[in-house]
Amino acid sequence: MTDAKITDAKDRIAETVKANAVVLFMKGTKTMPQCGFSSRVAGVLNYMGIDYLDVNVLADDALRQGIKDYSDWPTIPQLYVKGEFVGGCDIITEMTLSGELDQLFEQNGVSYDKDAAEKIREANA
């Protein structure tokens, strides 16, 4: 893969995370995840009613490597809120269960279903 492709991918990633309040770089799509970790994070966001852009890294090898380089994070999925990298599956799971994800959405003006967030915590207590 050429450096130009990686640079182009990083530029596309930067534009995407700046143009959308919530972005999930994942394997597959929000309606058809292609790995368990992507499925878990998409499931949380879907259940909480988050309006987010899903980016399928399996559709573009340059993007798949580019997102890892962009965030300096080795795994996918990766969640971005208001242009900031939040984390991968384990971090999102922990933040959901602790209520930190709710706080992050509230601080950034991202609407979500508070009852759904509580149900996730109750089910995992």
Which residues on neighbouring strands pair with residue 33, listed in sequence order? 28
The β-bridge relationship of strands 53-56 and 22-26 is parallel
pLDDT score of 3: 67
What is the domain extent for residue 118? 3-123
Domain CATH for 117: 3.40.30.10
pLDDT score of 125: 84
Whole-prediction pTM: 0.94
The b/e string for 12-34 (b: 16+ C-beta within 10 A; e otherwise) is: bbeebbeebbbbbbbbbbbeebe
Residues in Cβ contact with 107 at an 8 Å cutoff, skipping those fewer than 6 apart = none
Q: pLDDT 10s per residue in the chain (125 long)?
A: 566 766 788 899 999 999 999 999 999 999 999 999 999 999 999 999 999 999 999 999 999 999 999 999 999 999 999 999 999 999 999 999 999 999 999 999 999 999 999 999 999 98
pLDDT score of 112: 97
Look at the chain and report how many structural domains it folds into: 1
89 in a known ligand binding site: no
